[in-house]
Structure 1
Amino acid sequence: MTAMPVLHYIYDPLCGWCYGAKPLIDQARDILPVVAHGGGMMTGAQRRPVSAQLRDYVMPHDVRIAQYTGQPFGEAYFEGLLRDTTAVFDSAPPTSAVLAAEQLAGRGLELLGRLQTAHYVEGRRIADDDVLMAIAVEMGLAADGFRAAYVAVSGEVTQAHFKASRQLLSRVGGQGFPTVVLEQSGQYQVIDLGPYLGKPQAFGDWLRQLDAVRGQDSSGSAPSCGLDGCQ
């Protein structure tokens, strides 16, 4: 019996191209199991306070992502969050929240998608604990349970998760975020998302044809964020 295929999604919650790929991941979740692996793009020395320099750096990339994928970026993000010099971009807290939601209710990827919208459309500070708690509750997660799970996975557990995700990324030869890997019968194959960005239905149709997936050339160069920030 052939094992059920699994899609591994190596992401970062502050990666614009991951947000661009969100409709593809949503399609994939309707077809086969998807496992999320947070890569820790903006952690440690890569954490960044919002500044004019950061805004000037990320805005052209975000405009390109919007044009390339059709994903919406809100005025509250461009003219609100990206001008809020008290905000910090830190991948660790939102990744911890995704881990907590997965542990608590198997809803990690759902929370990730909600956090991406909160960041890029609503301009909310998804590195702030109180914002993460509020969004979890908005999603219907129990406040006390989520808070306990979030505290439990923060710190060392999240750092270990980042390390394991980076090891997987290296093992499959991925170059950045997002990297999507099909695991089937013990074999791992990186999937080139480039042709499907902005075309989620086509990606879903293609994923359903797993024989074709196995033979697909994955040597393309879909746009992505690097290990330490979006390029």
Structure 2
Amino acid sequence: MPSAEQASLTYAFDAYCAWCYGFGPTVRAFAEDNAHRIRLSVVSTGLYTGARALPVAAYPHLSAERGRITQLTGAAFGVGYEHALSRGTTVLDSAAAAAGLVALRDQPGVSELDAAEAMQRAWFVDGRGLSDVDVYRDIADELGLDADAVTSAYSAPGGRVEARAAFRALRRLRVTSSPALLLHTAHGADQMGGAASTVASLTAALDQRLPAAIPQASIHKLSSRGEPS
């Protein structure tokens, strides 16, 4: 399929979502296998916002959940993450993390998946909270980006405004959990899979739905004008 006709998909994820961390290698392999016919955007769902933006100690299930995710997906959690769970003081603030993704994603030449994966490594491997501007400076260095531009974008209010607009757009599309992979069609966003999906099942779902896809629609655009009708 020519580049101008690539179907648009949105990967709805949260940087603090452990299931998204486990799903990451699957969505990466799916995106690479189908790079000739899809354009993938990564958008934050806002898992821990408002009254849910609390210290990690408020979510004791995360420790047990880590074992299940490793068993089902093979995802390896780092010693830094174990220490962060033990301390329990890091505030899970998905609005801050979403602003960080915006700051990274908007830099020239960056892969959105690379940015999302780097953020999740910072938390699930190194145990670094995603409200710390220095985390984004280090990620920028890792990805070969202008660190000053990234940290400036993270600190500016526009990133949080854009992130909250994306949260609202996903709610309009009835995305209630993450991870979720959405194909944009003339009838709305068609959810293709989630944490238990395989590369093969996602590719089969894409094959079935591709004729209805809208070329180059995205949540980035939908967040400012609503769901397509």
Task: Give the TM-score normalised by the residue count of structure 2.
Answer: 0.77
1:1-231, aligned counterparts within 5 Å?
Answer: 3-30=5-32, 31=34, 32-51=38-57, 53-54=58-59, 56-78=60-82, 80-105=83-108, 106-152=110-156, 153-168=158-173, 170=174, 174-184=175-185, 188-193=189-194, 195-196=196-197, 199-200=198-199, 202-203=200-201, 206=204, 210-211=207-208
Partner SS, residue 100 of structure 1: helix
- Cα offset, 1:154, TM superposition: 3.1
- Cα offset, 1:177, TM superposition: 0.8
- Cα offset, 1:3, TM superposition: 4.3
Match of 1:220 in 2: none
Partner SS, residue 33 of structure 1: strand
Amino acid of the structure 1 residue aligned with 2:46: G
Partner SS, residue 99 of structure 1: helix
- Runs (5+) with no aligned partner, structure 2: 213-229
Q: Return the alpha-carbon distance in structure 1 between the equivalents of residues 136 and 112 of structure 2.
A: 13
Amino acid of the structure 2 residue aligned with 1:142: D
Aligned residues: 204
Q: Deviations over 1:94-139 (max 9, x none)?
A: 2111111221124332111111122112222222122222222222
- Runs (5+) with no aligned partner, structure 1: 216-231
The percent of aligned pairs where both chains have the same amino acid is 28
Q: Return the alpha-carbon distance in structure 1 between the equivalents of residues 132 and 62 of structure 2.
A: 20
- Cα offset, 1:147, TM superposition: 2.0
Partner SS, residue 188 of structure 1: strand
Question: What is the Cα-based RMSD across aligned positions, in Å?
Answer: 2.7
Contact 1:20/1:66, CA 8 A, preserved across alignment: yes
Q: Return the alpha-carbon distance in structure 1 between the equivalents of residues 185 and 7 of structure 2.
A: 5
Match of 1:223 in 2: none
Against the structure 1 CA distance between its residues 191 and 82, is the aligned structure 2 distance closer, same or farther, given a 3 Å change threshold? Answer: same
Q: Return the alpha-carbon distance in structure 1 between the equivalents of residues 186 and 207 of structure 2.
A: 12
Q: Deviations over 1:46-80 (max 9, x none)?
A: 111132x53x32111111111111111122212x1
Partner SS, residue 88 of structure 1: coil
Match of 2:215 in 1: none
Contact 1:3/1:184, CA 8 A, preserved across alignment: no
Q: Return the alpha-carbon distance in structure 2 between the equivalents of residues 21 and 150 of structure 1.
A: 26
